[in-house]
Amino acid sequence: MNYFKTGLLLAALTGLFMAIGAALGGQSGMVIAFLVALAMNAFSYWNADKMVLRMHGAREVDARTAPELHEMIAGLARNAGLPMPKVYIIDNPQPNAFATGRNPENAAVAATTGILQTLSREELAGVMAHELAHVKNRDTLIMTVTATIAGAISMLANFAFFFGGNRNSNNGGLGIIGTLAVMILAPMGAALVQMAISRTREYAADRMGAMICGNPVWLASALEKISGAAHHIPNPSAERNPATAHMFIINPLSGQRMDNLFSTHPDTENRIRALMQQAQEMGNAAQPAAAGHDGPWSQATRANRGPWG
């Protein structure tokens, strides 16, 4: 059902893009908009992962440069039945993480230095399992396509300001009122659809990620910590590239921009509540994540490996 809903929302987003093209240029405008959407998605399919990682200054690490993180993700990938993804670290104090890639064979997961310093090993395992769930569900491709079309809609709406308002509405143009409506309503509509898609995929990734790491409480504890910190610690690369905000496990934007008018993430308390319910169903609600702020690099945690290692 979630995939059916996601498909419908993607179709609605594409339809909105084509409708703006039709409003600007009639039938030929709609056709051009459709072709542009196809071209942008084709480009995104092959290059979006590299673009996103570059936007956030991510550096690739391996078993030699980040042995504990690499080993953890390798174990979680085995649990999920996935190929080993590429692993990246982002020098950013805000605790956060995301996954990208067009398919499981070409996936990458990225974690900020902030999240490595903030979470316990168990909590970090919950977060990275969530990101691997996105890979397994192929959400990384879905969210890339969503971001591309939503960004194109905003661009086309701005384009309408320069060309739509200069044409007489009686001669097939938008007119000034129609142009203003497109400029305001189209990006809002795109944001709402993008938000709905992201929320659907986040809940599914939370549930599957909890199963991959073995304990929903670990992810719930991580979400609580990350959410609290993300509101106080800025993420400059995300602020410069707000179209990528939906890819992170928690909204990385500060809320100081209009881009945050519609959040692309579900309410954190609702996510935690769902995870705690899942923990009761799995029978491990009484196994909380380790307390403190050791981070995954503490030598003391080596002997306390969970089912991921």
Q: What amino acid positions are annotated as catalytic residues?
A: 131
Whole-number Å distance between alpha carbons of 153 and 246? 17
Residue 294 is inside which H or E element, if any? none
Helix, strand or coil for residue 9? helix
- Check if the beta carbon of residue 223 is closer than 8 Å to that of residue 288: no
For the chain, helix, strand, coil in percent to 5 are: 65, 5, 25
Whole-angstrom Cα Rg for the chain: 21
Q: Which residues pair with 89 in a beta bridge?
A: 59, 111
Residue 266 is inside which H or E element, if any? none
Q: What residues have CB less than 8 Å from 139, skipping those under 6 apart?
A: 99, 133, 201, 204, 205
Strands 97-100 and 58-61: unpaired
